[in-house]
Structure 1
Amino acid sequence: MDLSRLLRTSGTVAAAAVLLISASAAGRATPAAAPAHDRDITGGYLAGADAARSLSPYYGQQLRWHSCGSGATGFECATMRVPLDYAMPRGGEIKLALSRQKATGARSRRLGSLLVNPGGPGGSAIDYLQRYAAKNYPASVRARYDLVAMDPRGVARSEPVTCLTDSEMDAYAQVEQTPHNQAEIRQLVAALKKFAAGCAAHSGRVLGHVSTVEAARDMDVLRGVLGDGKLHYIGASYGTFLGATYAGLFPSRVGRLVLDGALDPSLSAERANRDQAAGFQTAFASFARDCARQSDCPLGASGTAAMGGRLKSFLTGLDAHPLPTARSRPLTESLATTGVIAAMYDQDAWPTLRKALSLAMEGDGSVLLALSDAYYERDAHGSYSNLMAANAAVNCLDLPTAFHSPDDVRRAIPAFNKVSPVLGENLAWGGLSCAYWPTHATGRAHRITARGAAPILVVGTTRDPATPYPWARSLAHQLSSGRLLTYDGDGHTAYTRGSSCVDNAIDSYLLGTTTPPADQHCS
């Protein structure tokens, strides 16, 4: 329910929304040795010779690639073993799901493997590879790289965290996220506690071992098993934090890293949530300006503030009077708000949002509900992916909770509303989601410098709602070899989203034809 920290590429939301709305290694090199030296921002892991001995069985394993099946023609799949707990490598292991599409060009020109991650945390990298990257990444990149995806630990096919049944998830998604009285606050707290207890009951074995640090260490095992001396990687949204964490742990193993839609690892959870509130306000202002130019704009044409007030009033009204939909579930305030947030990720979804709001203001909540379902990854049969469960599990390990109690949230709401009159209160309450989590956070806010790493390309979009542009500037500055590519545009992330300037800059970097300049701008 912490929507503000649910971060993945816009394409994964928009593509799912379209579907829902329309329905209303041969030649592998010798495996690399286990690292003899690990840099770890959290401490507590084995180092030196002990690490090499304990992890060598994992770095030395042979992958057994096989056809993924008829639903994924042209892709190979495999599983990889990693330690459950890197502090105790012999204390148990988990299996991670992999997929790849081999390079389409001549073997002599192959540059290695290119690992992809769409964010989340909780987004399936395998789904992203098979449904998006393999179709939309430029042919020149696909010709020279094996595209490789690994569902991170706790996600999708990799020992997924589970918390609630599908029917329980339906109820959870409808709980009021901006409680207006003590009864609604009690309902929200009870829902958060039930969710957390379900995660502990169903996924207690892995729940304390799905942090970003552990996922980054898994990436290095995969690099070694694939026989690559350096890690080449494209991470979007939360995937930028995963990639930056890898660079901080293993700077000498950084190859070409693209961090698109960057997070700032130095921010506390509260600060990150508040920054996102400002980001979504910026995105709403862009939507409102575009909407005002359209004849079918349901919010009128009286300026951003008035249009925002009209939207907020409409959403608040759904608390007492949910709307009927074409499905059995009514459109509540919480579901409608989620639908609006989903459409902010991609300006291509703005016409759908205009239609959704127009229909809703006429009494039909079907399209807004479809947008919300796409965001939650709920299919037409009522089944949820484990996105929300994995998202909470990773977030609550990576950073201490933003707020410990409803009183903390209420004290913070004025600051959130100041930066986002439309969605500030919603994102403030989202910061309570880790307050009742059954495991303690193992991470903390910190700067990542990755001193000694090869040049790392950080991409920021000026009106990105989910990962505000200042985060990209900050990360590029923190990284000792960071290079900032700025896209003056709307939506979340920039690569393969329509800017030839952005695509050409990233492709040239990936293909090794240019070293990115310190500061490049595209529009």
Structure 2
Amino acid sequence: MIRPARRKPAAAVACLLVTVLLLAACAAPPKVQTTLGAGVSPEAPVAGADGAPAGFESWYSQALEWVDCGGGFQCTTASAPLSWHDAAAGSIELALKKAPASGQKVGSLLINPGGPGGSGISLVESGSFGQALRNSFDIVGFDPRGVGQSSPVTCFADEDKDEFLSKDYPYTDEGLAERAQSIREWGAACAQNTGALLGNVDTQSAARDMDMLRAALGDDKLNYLGYSYGTQLGYTYAGLFPDRVGRLVLDGALDPNLTSDQVAAEQAVGFENALRAYVQDCQAGADCPLGGDVETGLKQIRAMVEDAADNPIPTSGDRDVTQKLAFYGVAVTMYDEASWGVLTQALEEVFYEGAGDTLLYLADVYNERNSDGTFRSNSEEAFRAVNCADGRAEDDPEKMKALAAEIEAAAPTLGKSFGYSGIECTDWPFPPAEQEFDITAAGADPIVVIGTTNDPATPYKWAQALASTLESGVLVTYQGEGHTAYGRSNNCISRAVEDYLVHGTVPQDGLTC
């Protein structure tokens, strides 16, 4: 599967594509987490009268010292417990950045762009929020535990990471075994370079961090805007702390009822549907490099990606486009229809010139790779670490093979890249966390869930499922293409989100924009 992707704002084409990185949602390295089982663990920390779990009061009561850090922003570093089940285990750091309210302040609005592995600091820097939100809230971005400027997950050196993200493995027993060995080596490097933090980057721990930040920011309830994987972080928070839910908006929703294998299968179909819409749009124009009808165009894309395994596509530099990189290059443009023109340019280069320069550029955007071989973030490290901390996919070889065949049959263009999810946490150094929350978030104030009808990374039916699962879920639908809606769709969505967050006006359940 691929990561649902962290949500970033679109600007000019180069920036627009940088929108895409993370979460949570489609390919070679599986990119979305397994949802854990139902029920509440009796070992979950018990909250004290002040809202802090017993023994963790000092973290909740810490004073955040904000300093100006340029551009009108303020920055600080918060301390968080390494383990929310052992106050004596030590501390980690969480980096925060806020855009102070420009008008009458309502409170703080915590934000998360997805991933897992997306930087909330980068999101707050983007300024991609309506004026009503900027006037009324201190908009606070934070890098979750394991991510970016917070205490990070660290694995391979950049050169080894580059190989890890570009190397193809045949879909044979030998190739799959080699792929599993590469994951073992990755996990071992993560454990050696990250230490005990690697076993404490699960989503529940990050949600507990959010409640600590709520208290440190001086808010009685949490106001929150989460995209993509950020919706999982939001519904996990609501399940842990339903009485502390303020105004929550979850955009590009994940379905808490699915296993990792179901996520991969449904994402594959989501990307198939988005590609179909792209091919229809491309062929309706004058200069589309995809010939014939839509089915023929999809087959051309499939052939290009699969052929790159045996015949990597050359570029003007010293790197070729492998099958894995070709997949990333195509998939990344499905997150926002405004980037479809760049995919057309890439396909023109491949089909007419035999060159993969633009396709490689697109893959590098997805992987946040710089031209010199360094990486702009640790999003891949955090993505895998959080997913493996949250759960595991089916790892029986024969069952994986059968699941992979089903996925490819349902999504023939790119579906092959979504199979064998169980390999992606092979011999992970730490076990997954046990679920400690109620996925219905019984007793919480209204939670607004937004779904986009042809979202490739988080299919629309996931938003429907989440809104139905949450006792207080309210579904808002954006009829359109691309991943997530607020900030990239229309005024109807903007009004619904901003009226709710600023004024508490709950949108009509079932509102369609």
Same fold (TM over 0.5): yes
Give the match's secondary structure for 1:115.
strand
1:388-418 per-position Cα deviation (integer Å, ceiling 9, x unaligned): 0000000111122x23154432221221012
- The equivalent residue for 1:155 is 147
- The equivalent residue for 2:24 is none
- The equivalent residue for 1:517 is 508
Matched, 1:116 2:111: yes
Residues 332 and 366, structure 2, Cα contact 8 Å, conserved in 1: yes
- The equivalent residue for 1:219 is 210
Matched, 1:175 2:167: yes
AA matched with 1:457: V
1:291-328 per-position Cα deviation (integer Å, ceiling 9, x unaligned): 1112222222412x222211111111111111222332
When structure 1 is superposed on structure 2, of 226-235 and 444-453 the one drifting more is 444-453
From the superposition, tell whether residues 496 and 275 of structure 1 become closer, same or farther in structure 2 (CA, over 3 Å): same
How far apart, in 2, do the equivalents of 1:200 and 1:368 lie?
33
From the superposition, tell whether residues 264 and 12 of structure 1 become closer, same or farther in structure 2 (CA, over 3 Å): farther
From the superposition, tell whether residues 19 and 283 of structure 1 become closer, same or farther in structure 2 (CA, over 3 Å): closer
- Map 1:102-113 → 2, pairs under 5 A: 102-105=100-103, 109-113=104-108
- Map 1:33-48 → 2, pairs under 5 A: 41-48=40-47
AA matched with 1:111: V
From the superposition, tell whether residues 6 and 467 of structure 1 become closer, same or farther in structure 2 (CA, over 3 Å): closer
From the superposition, tell whether residues 95 and 430 of structure 1 become closer, same or farther in structure 2 (CA, over 3 Å): same
When structure 1 is superposed on structure 2, of 113-122 and 498-507 the one drifting more is 498-507
- The equivalent residue for 1:259 is 250
Question: Displacement, 1:346?
Answer: 0.7
When structure 1 is superposed on structure 2, of 117-126 and 409-418 the one drifting more is 409-418
Give the match's secondary structure for 2:309.
helix
From the superposition, tell whether residues 238 and 12 of structure 1 become closer, same or farther in structure 2 (CA, over 3 Å): farther
Residues 44 and 436, structure 2, Cα contact 8 Å, conserved in 1: no
- Map 1:74-93 → 2, pairs under 5 A: 74-93=72-91
Matched, 1:210 2:194: no
How far apart, in 2, do the equivalents of 1:5 and 1:13 lie?
21
How far apart, in 1, do the equivalents of 2:389 and 2:39 lie?
15
For normalisation by structure 1, the TM-score amounts to 0.89
- The equivalent residue for 1:60 is 61
Matched, 1:469 2:467: no
Residues 476 and 511, structure 2, Cα contact 8 Å, conserved in 1: yes
Residues 114 and 229, structure 2, Cα contact 8 Å, conserved in 1: yes
- The equivalent residue for 1:419 is 410
Matched, 1:451 2:446: no
Matched, 1:398 2:390: yes
AA matched with 1:138: G
Say which of 291, 306, 309 aligns to 1:319: 309
How far apart, in 2, do the equivalents of 1:76 and 1:257 lie?
23
- The equivalent residue for 1:366 is 357
Question: Displacement, 1:219?
Answer: 0.3
For normalisation by structure 2, the TM-score amounts to 0.91
How far apart, in 1, do the equivalents of 2:349 and 2:15 lie?
16
From the superposition, tell whether residues 147 and 276 of structure 1 become closer, same or farther in structure 2 (CA, over 3 Å): same
Question: Displacement, 1:15?
Answer: 6.5
Residues 495 and 502, structure 1, Cα contact 8 Å, conserved in 2: yes
From the superposition, tell whether residues 229 and 436 of structure 1 become closer, same or farther in structure 2 (CA, over 3 Å): same
- The equivalent residue for 1:140 is 132
- The equivalent residue for 2:94 is 96
From the superposition, tell whether residues 230 and 445 of structure 1 become closer, same or farther in structure 2 (CA, over 3 Å): closer
How far apart, in 1, do the equivalents of 2:9 and 2:42 lie?
36
Residues 14 and 349, structure 1, Cα contact 8 Å, conserved in 2: no
Question: Displacement, 1:194?
Answer: 1.6
Residues 335 and 457, structure 2, Cα contact 8 Å, conserved in 1: yes
Q: Which runs of 5+ in 1 are unaligned?
A: 22-38
How far apart, in 1, do the equivalents of 2:171 and 2:88 lie?
50
How far apart, in 2, do the equivalents of 1:195 and 1:254 lie?
37
From the superposition, tell whether residues 416 and 444 of structure 1 become closer, same or farther in structure 2 (CA, over 3 Å): farther
- The equivalent residue for 1:249 is 240
AA matched with 1:514: T
Residues 240 and 437, structure 2, Cα contact 8 Å, conserved in 1: no
How far apart, in 2, do the equivalents of 1:315 and 1:473 lie?
32
How far apart, in 2, do the equivalents of 1:255 and 1:504 lie?
18
From the superposition, tell whether residues 393 and 41 of structure 1 become closer, same or farther in structure 2 (CA, over 3 Å): farther
Matched, 1:340 2:339: no
1:471-515 per-position Cα deviation (integer Å, ceiling 9, x unaligned): 000000011111000011000000010311111111111111622
How far apart, in 1, do the equivalents of 2:17 and 2:252 lie?
25
Query: Cα RMSD over matched residues?
Result: 2.2
- The equivalent residue for 1:480 is 471
Residues 333 and 343, structure 2, Cα contact 8 Å, conserved in 1: yes
AA matched with 1:55: F
How far apart, in 2, do the equivalents of 1:420 and 1:94 lie?
42
From the superposition, tell whether residues 488 and 242 of structure 1 become closer, same or farther in structure 2 (CA, over 3 Å): same
- The equivalent residue for 1:352 is 342
Say which of 261, 277, 280 aligns to 1:286: 277
Give the match's secondary structure for 1:403.
coil
Residues 16 and 377, structure 1, Cα contact 8 Å, conserved in 2: no
Residues 153 and 378, structure 2, Cα contact 8 Å, conserved in 1: yes
Residues 261 and 421, structure 2, Cα contact 8 Å, conserved in 1: no
Residues 405 and 432, structure 1, Cα contact 8 Å, conserved in 2: no
From the superposition, tell whether residues 366 and 17 of structure 1 become closer, same or farther in structure 2 (CA, over 3 Å): farther
AA matched with 1:58: W
Alignment length (residue pairs):
491
From the superposition, tell whether residues 53 and 190 of structure 1 become closer, same or farther in structure 2 (CA, over 3 Å): closer
- The equivalent residue for 1:307 is 297
Residues 342 and 375, structure 1, Cα contact 8 Å, conserved in 2: yes
Q: Which runs of 5+ in 2 are unaligned?
A: 20-37
How far apart, in 2, do the equivalents of 1:248 and 1:158 lie?
25
When structure 1 is superposed on structure 2, of 318-327 and 420-429 the one drifting more is 318-327
Question: Displacement, 1:382?
Answer: 1.6
Give the match's secondary structure for 1:432.
helix
AA matched with 1:56: E
Residues 40 and 435, structure 2, Cα contact 8 Å, conserved in 1: no
Residues 79 and 94, structure 2, Cα contact 8 Å, conserved in 1: yes
Residues 17 and 374, structure 1, Cα contact 8 Å, conserved in 2: no
Question: Displacement, 1:342?
Answer: 0.5
- The equivalent residue for 2:124 is 129
Residues 253 and 450, structure 2, Cα contact 8 Å, conserved in 1: yes
Say which of 253, 259, 282 aligns to 1:268: 259
From the superposition, tell whether residues 269 and 372 of structure 1 become closer, same or farther in structure 2 (CA, over 3 Å): same
1:121-156 per-position Cα deviation (integer Å, ceiling 9, x unaligned): 0011101111x2x2x211111001000011100000
